[in-house]
Amino acid sequence: MGEFNSFARAARAVPDNGWIEYCNYVIKGVEITEETIAADLIETVLTGGGFVAQAHSPRHFQQSSFLSKLLNRQGWEAWSDEGRKDVLKCAVDFVRATVGDWPELEPVCTPEQFGELNRIVAEASAELGHSTLCNGQKV
């Protein structure tokens, strides 16, 4: 379980990165050219046919769609059959696939050193007149 927790800590940033990728995609905007608009294709399809069967559609689909690397696009049954992974589990899998396995690292400070750091922060916070968080704990 310790290994999962290490990957889970690193994986917390993965969904945020996905949102940043999506925002960058939206900000980039849509390319509007004669090729991307395909007015001639629209005319052809209106007289009988469908867009999906046209060579233009797959050629432009990827650049005109944002496909998250993290979110599930499967149907319910396939998702259930594969273990119903939530976003955190998918993010952990993404981190594991990206960086591979790494050894469990020892803390850089001893518990006593963390205690001293917390005391210093608490003292400084009291002098400044506000509370703060240090090492995930309110001081």
pLDDT tens per residue across span 77-109: 988 898 888 888 888 888 888 887 766 777 888
Q: What is the DSSP string of 10-61?
A: HHTHHHHHHHHHHHHHHHH----SHHHH-HHHHHHHHTS--STTSTHHHHHH
Three-state secondary structure call for residue 64:
helix
pLDDT in tens, 17-69: 888 988 999 999 888 899 888 888 888 888 777 888 888 888 888 788 888 87
Q: Give the DSSP letter string of 76-127.
A: HHHHHHTT---HHHHHHHHHHHHH---PPPPPSS-HHHHHHHHHHHHHHHHH
- Enter the pTM of the model: 0.52
pLDDT given at position 27: 92
- Of residues 50 and 5, more confidence is placed in 50
